[in-house]
Chains A and B, each alone.
Chain A
Amino acid sequence: MSELSDNAKKVIEDHLGRYPSKQAVTLPALHIVQEEKGCVSRKAIKEIADMLELSPAQINDTLSFYGFFRTEEDPLGKKRVWICRSLPCMLRGGEELLAELCERWGIQPGQTTPDGQVTLELAECLGACDGAPCMLVDDELSLCVTADDVERMVRG
Chain B
Amino acid sequence: MSNEEFKPILLGRVGKPNSHTLSTYKADGGYEALAKALSMKNTEVIDLVKASGLRGRGGAGFPTGLKWTFLPKDVTGPIYLCVNGDESEPGTFNNRVLIEEDPHQVLEGIVISSFATRTTTAYFYLRYEYGRCYRVLKDAIDEMYDNNLLGKNILGSGYDLDVHLHRGACAYICGEETGLIESLEGKRAWPRIKPPFPAIEGAFRRPTVVNNVETLACIPHILNKGADWFMSMGIPKDPNNARDAGSYGPKLYCISGHVNKPGLVELPMGISARDLIDKHGGGVWKGRKAKAVVPGGISMGFMSEKELDTPLDFAGPGRVGCLGLGTAAVIVIDDHTSMIDVLYNACRFFAHESCGQCTPCREGTAWSTKILERIRQGHGKLSDIDVLLEISSSIGTIPGTTICGLADGAAWPMKTAINKFRPEFEEYIKSGRKSESKSLVGAH
Contact = CB atoms under 8 A, between A and B. Distances in A.
Given A87-B91, A88-B257, A95-B440, A127 B345 contact: no
B132 A23 contact: no
Chain A interface mostly: mixed
B91 A27 contact: no
A138 interface: yes
Interface stretch (B82-90, B193-201, B389-397): B82-90
Contact of B349 (A87, A95, A109, A140): A87
Nearest to B263: A130
B188 A61 contact: yes
A61 B187 contact: yes
A66 B169 CA distance: 6
Contacts of A66: 169-171, 188-189
Contact of A109 (B128, B172, B440): B440
A127 B440 contact: no
Contacts of A138: 131
Contacts of B352: 124
B420 to A, nearest CB: 16
Given A68-B128, A109-B443, A127 B92 contact: yes
Contacts of B307: none
A127 B93 contact: yes
A155 interface: no
Contact of A136 (B95, B129, B257, B444): B129
25 contacts: A21-B185, A23-B186, A23-B187, A26-B186, A27-B186, A62-B186, A66-B169, A68-B128, A87-B90, A87-B342, A98-B438, A99-B438, A102-B440, A123-B170, A125-B88, A125-B349, A127-B88, A127-B93, A127-B127, A127-B129, A129-B93, A130-B93, A130-B262, A141-B129, A141-B130
A90 B184 CA distance: 31
Nearest to B167: A31
A145 interface: no
Interface residues of A, number: 52
Interface string A75-118: 00000001001111011100110110010000011100000000
Contacts of A27: 166-169, 183, 186
Interface in B36-95: 78, 87-93, 95
A95 B439 contact: yes
